[in-house]
Amino acid sequence: MARLKTILQRAMEAIWPAHDNPTHDFPKNVAGEADGSFSVLIIKIDHLGDFVTAIPALRRLRSSWNNADITLLCSESLVEFVCSLKVVDRVVGIPPPRSDNPALLEPSDLGAIRQSPFDVAIDLRHDGDTRHLLDAVQARYRVGYASRHSTLQLDVELPELEKSARRRGKQGISNRARLSLLVEAAIQSIQVPVVRTDRPTLAAKRRQARQTIAIAPSARSPIKMWRTDRWIALCHRLIAADFAIVLVGDAGDRETCDAIAHGLPAASVVNRAGEMTLPEVTAAISDSALFIGLDTGLAHIASSTGSAALVLFSGHADPQVWAPDGPDVGILRNDVPCAPCHATRMEQCLFDHRCMDLPLDFVWEAASARLGQSGGGQRRLAS
């Protein structure tokens, strides 16, 4: 138990500078080159929101194994975004529709990766539906969470942490923390020589806040949505406080953003939904005084950049596990007894979407406080 607590403590510090003094050498027959370099494969086939929660773990791995040649396997739609992070050496994308359902992936979908030998292969997904891919690659050490989907014996394995906690009525830990925990277990179990390099720091740096508010008002699931008229009313208050509004999202969010933009003064709002790449969206969020959005991938991006952020969180998921976290991230939610429901369609909701009946004044007061001072945490309305 003491060992697990130590690993967890280090994992929670994943965003801070890495430890620089490993106590054991990596076995010599593992290193791919005479200079001690070695190769790592990371499997992280996920949608944007879940992928972003893995960024601190990727940064921790990069800073600790700074001589590693790291290949990352992800969804094809995220390749450009992952390259912009500069935490791995190469990125290989899995095209849709296979990447949309990782459980359907076959070893043949990995292409040339199957023929490339790796010293370490890590499945950086808590759910077990991609664990079988570790058995399809050549790796000396395999790392992942235990899974009922696979009988593969892993060299570094941690127990599943979400469903088992739910069955016992216990509170789970955030996805960001458990992915950092897995990487920390790998680092502590498979230690390598540290080679000093001139890599630039990968710590996220806060940019000087501009007088803009980045708003991401749309989500794929209607369960996560806030009323359009309240978004418009909130934006009017922000504009009256001398802020300009930039609406962000992808092409699928354009309709919602158009409806909001049409209700605002044209000189005070820019609708960029569907017009920017993910790196450009990330820059726009980072350059803003505040990000306000829903439980989507863009909220996790805001958290990863260190931006001040407010996230309107529905009853769909457990915020202790899935909400973006960060020193300047606030979570706004209704404390309803039916959450988390995991519903994705409105007709599945039996309680009039009460979880997202967040009053305008409640959100405005939180935004005003966030613009005046930093500090994260959750603000809840009693049910």
CA dist 184 and 178 (Å) reads 10
Which of 25-34, 169-178, 269-278 reaches the highest mean pLDDT? 269-278
Tell me what the pLDDT averaged over the chain comes to.
79
Tens of pLDDT, residue by residue over 52-107, are 999 999 999 998 888 888 999 999 889 999 988 889 988 988 887 666 777 778 88
Q: 212-382 is classed in which CATH architecture?
A: 3-Layer(aba) Sandwich (3.40)
CATH dotted code for 2-189: 3.40.50.2000
Mean pLDDT, residues 359-363:
93
* Contacts with 83 (C-beta within 8 Å, 6 or more apart), sequence order: 91
Whether residue 366 has pLDDT greater than 80 = yes
pLDDT of residue 174: 83
Cis peptide leading into 279, omega within 30 of 0?
no
> What is the per-residue pLDDT across 17-28, written as a single tens digit (0 to 9) for each?
333 333 333 333
pLDDT band for position 13 (cuts 50, 70, 90)? very low
271 pLDDT higher than 90: yes
Model-wide pTM > 0.75: no
SS3 346: helix
Distance CA 282, CA 207 (A): 12
The structural domains of the chain, with segments of one domain joined by +, span: 2-189, 212-382
Are β-strands 309-312 and 329-335 bridged in parallel, bridged antiparallel, or unpaired? Answer: parallel
What is the helix (H) or strand (E) element at residue 157, kind and residue range? strand 156-158
Q: What residues contact residue 260 under an 8 Å CB cut-off, 6+ apart?
A: 215, 217, 228, 231, 232, 235, 247, 269, 271
pLDDT band at 34 (very low <50, low <70, confident <90, very high): very low
The confidence score (pLDDT) of residue 293 equals 95
Residue 121 has pLDDT above 50, yes or no: yes
Report the percent of the chain where pLDDT is more than 70.
78
